[in-house]
Chains A and B, each alone.
Chain A
Amino acid sequence: MLEILRPGVQTSVQDRGRRGLRHLGIAQAGALDMPALYRANSLLGNDPDAAGLEITLGPVSVRFGRDAWLALSGAHFHPELNGRPIHTGQRVFAQAGHTLTLSGCQYGMRTYLAVDGGIDAPLTLGARATDLQGGFGGVHGRALEAGDRLPLGAPRALRDGPGCRSPDWTPYVRALPGPDYASFSPSAQAAFWQRQWTVTPSSNRMGMRLRGTPLVRRHNMDLLSHAVFPGVVQAPPDGQPIILLADAQTTGGYPCLATVIQADLWKLAQARPGAHLHFVPCSAADARAALARQVREGQRLRHALRTLTE
């Protein structure tokens, strides 16, 4: 059992999310920084589908109801276990009754807490992830609250092992032109790639709202609703782009100016309100190659951690 003492700004149970249900209006949900959750699970030898906690900014404290191995990956806090500093990206042993506290987020926005055996929230529509908009999955479909007690999966026999680093965050986010790119004026197209975009505080797990040069369309044809995905950059009539994230609805009618490549979605998860982003053009083939590289690196890390500790 894992007891939430202090949930911070927003903490929720997340895994790799749901697939194949978008035609019914059911969103993906799941970790916004998917590679970070993958690393945290790999540090413990957990199944890659195991659920962990997505912790946004903090301050957070949780108490372990059993002896447990934990791992953090993603944003850098000052993590302490029973008052003693521990490292992000490292396997750490917690005794039953120990309290983990995360405060003073130094860098990034979201960190992922994995526990050996995973968070054993019920599988709902194929995942344990919390869909905050739909109100299901995780713990009663909501962000965690003080007093919540989360069941844990079967403990694993582990010993101290090596750690791993999170990749360096950069504000350069690769994107592909979207299906409605040509309907924007040449100056709007140029501004999209050349200007700096500021993340606004009204961003959430559904979408990241940006502020910058308004992106004007050449002609304001009404669009019919079409499928959208995490990473789609929409330009609503006010011209301030919105990047859809994991909890976004499944169809939409705003023009799609661009799509952030899947290998760079994690950068959005770690960009705080006020952070600046730049979009960098990329080809679809390079986007797929970047994702394949990211997946390969994850698997290599997983393999290395296993062979070094078992």
Chain B
Amino acid sequence: MSQAAPHYYSLGESAVALALPAPATLAQQRRIWRLAASLAGAPGVLDIIPGMNNLTVSYHPLDFDPDHAFDCLRQHWVALSAADDDAPARQVDIPVCYGGEAGPDLAEVARHTGLTPAEVVKQHCAAEYQVFFMGFQPGFAYLGGLPEALATPRRAQPRTRVPAGSVGIGGSQTGVYPACSPGGWQLIGHTRLKLFDPVATQPTLLQPGDRVRFVCEELRHA
């Protein structure tokens, strides 16, 4: 697989980053995850943070040598072999109760997409998603893979309080709110799984690169 050259840049006084050429694709994002895995444990590194089509590595500022950091990033990038592109990912199933009070906007998503609520749920569960990167809240995963047919604009009036565990659609994205917060996504369901548990050994249910499936536990009618 041929590779266009990445763009390397620094962020602040002790972080370096690499951005891959547009467009962002799943194949490129896989390379970002593998680069993150390959950099884990490199000396002096504090954080290795995948973004969308990019990766940032921060160092302890007093140990930071920019030449060394850029060399390290370049070497790890070049050493990734194309053969490993299909490296296995963790599979996480998220049980969801769709509709009713658990998903008050399921009817609105159905109306917008021209599908029945049952068809929305069927398509949402049939798709395979992958965690592109994380942010917004502890344990919040930006998922790629929402079927285009399900894309629905955000609510005109964001809710002031979205319960933790809410499963939503916002534009062409889908995801789960780990904590109670304000939010503008259309809520189609709710999971009882904890997306973030600060006292667990593994504090977040999801990590960059995970494959995710939503499993319908129940479909309630409004």
Nearest CB on A from B27, distance (A)? 15
Q: Would B58 and A229 count as touching, CB distance under 8 A? A: yes
Chain B residue at minimal CB-CB distance from A252: B135
A249 and B135 in contact, given A21-B203, A26-B203, A291-B62 (Cβ under 8 angstroms) = yes
B189 interface residue (CB < 8 Å to A): no
Task: For the complex formed, measure the closest distance between the CB of B98 and the CB atoms of chain A, giving whole angstroms.
Answer: 25
* A to B contact number (C-beta, < 8 Å): 135
B64: min CB distance to chain A, Å: 6
Task: Evaluate contact between A227 and B51: CB separation under 8 angstroms.
Answer: yes
Contact residues of A between 231 and 258, Cβ < 8 Å to B: 231-232, 249-252, 256
- The smallest beta-carbon distance between A57 and chain B, in angstroms, is 25
Asked if A227 and B17 sit within 8 Å, CB to CB, the answer is: yes
Known contacts A23-B50, A134-B179, A224-B51; A250 and B13 CB within 8 A of each other: no
Say yes or no for A19: interface residue by CB 8 A criterion.
Answer: yes
Q: Are B208 and A23 in contact, with the CB atoms below 8 A?
A: yes
Q: Please give, as numbers and ranges, the residues of chain A lying within 8 Å of B49 by CB-CB distance.
A: 22-23, 227, 250-251
Chain A's closest residue to B65 (CB) is A288
Interface residues in B88-146 by Cβ distance below 8 A to A read 133-140, 142
Chain B: CB-nearest residue to A260: B12
Which residue of B has the minimal Cβ distance to A134? B138
Taken residue by residue from 15 to 28, chain A's Cβ proximity to chain B (1 for < 8 Å, 0 otherwise) reads as 00001111111110
Given A23-B50, A250-B134, A259-B11, 7 additional A-B pairs, CB 8 A? A23-B133, A26-B138, A136-B198, A179-B10, A227-B47, A249-B136, A249-B137
The 6 closest A-B pairs by CB, nearest first: A251-B135, A227-B56, A227-B49, A226-B51, A287-B13, A224-B52
Binding site for A on B (CB under 8 A): 9-15, 17, 19, 24, 36, 46-54, 56, 58, 61-62, 64, 66, 133-140, 142, 178-179, 196, 198-199, 203-204, 207-208
**B-binding residues in A (CB < 8 A):** 19-27, 124-125, 131, 133-137, 141, 176, 178-179, 224-227, 229, 231-232, 249-252, 256, 259, 261-262, 284, 287-288, 291-292, 295
